[in-house]
Amino acid sequence: MGNKGEKHMAFLEHLEELRWTLVWIAAAIALGTGVAWYFSSDMLAFLSTDLNKILETALGAGQTFDLHVFEVGEAFTTRLKVALLMGFLLALPFNISKVWQFVSPGLFKREKRMAGPLVLLSIVLFYCGVLFAYLIMVKLTVAFLFRLKPPEVVATIRIGSYVSFVTKFCVTFGLLFQLPLVQAQCTETTASRAATNNCYRILNHPERRNLIGVNRMGFSGIWKFVYPVHLLCT
């Protein structure tokens, strides 16, 4: 009875830790969104001005295009999208640190020393991917697509559609810039075996094991499902 009580308390403690981690992440994004909302109108004006510069370069002088609103609430929802994206980017370092605080107890000290710089590098690469997407890929793509427009066709650009277009590019390239880290991990000489041992150790860690509901009797059955997936990924 005593062991069961201790196990139950460990589960509740780490479930509470997970809950507070998610609360802090949500609060950081909300705070960042609130700050970014104040500048969202200026950001939309910047996007409109920059779009005209892109199209003037691609189609020649005299070609001007404005961003239009077609629904009553579209101006609000578009500003909210911009604020959410900026809030996410502003809160990213803090949120990564909170996630790191949660998962680090399942790692050895040597792994913590190695993972710390990798986490910082991952954040820097994500920001670089976002900048690369907007400064290069968005401009090249928009210019290319508008060159395909027949002269007789009048272009009307919806502001919500353009913001979603830019957002998808930025997030996608931010994730793509993580590939060097993934590749470096996958090309290690002992990557397959090390990844298997790490997954087993983290899942079987006495603290994290209670959180995800895995015990010694049931772990082998779960690993029979996880291991084939691991082989496909590595």
Better-predicted residue by pLDDT, 18 or 84: 84
132, 166: one domain = yes
Give the Cβ contact number of residue 147 at 10 Å: 10
Better-predicted residue by pLDDT, 110 or 63: 110
137, 108: one domain = yes
Q: What percent of the chain has pLDDT over 70?
A: 72
| Of the candidates 100, 115, 93, the residue with the CA atom closest to the CA atom of residue 184 | 115
150, 49: one domain = yes
User: What pLDDT shows up at residue 226?
Assistant: 46
157, 73: one domain = yes
User: What pLDDT shows up at residue 188?
Assistant: 54
| Of the candidates 155, 24, 187, 169, the residue with the CA atom closest to the CA atom of residue 98 | 24
139, 199: one domain = no
103, 210: one domain = no
Burial 17-30 (b: 16+ CB within 10 A, else e): eeeebeebbeebbe
pLDDT, one tens digit per residue, over 200-230 is 555 555 555 454 444 444 444 444 444 444 4
Give the Cβ contact number of residue 177 at 10 Å: 20
What is the domain range of residue 89? 2-185
Domain count, the chain: 2
pLDDT, one tens digit per residue, over 101-117 is 887 777 777 777 777 78
Residue-level length of the chain: 234
68, 118: one domain = yes
138, 23: one domain = yes
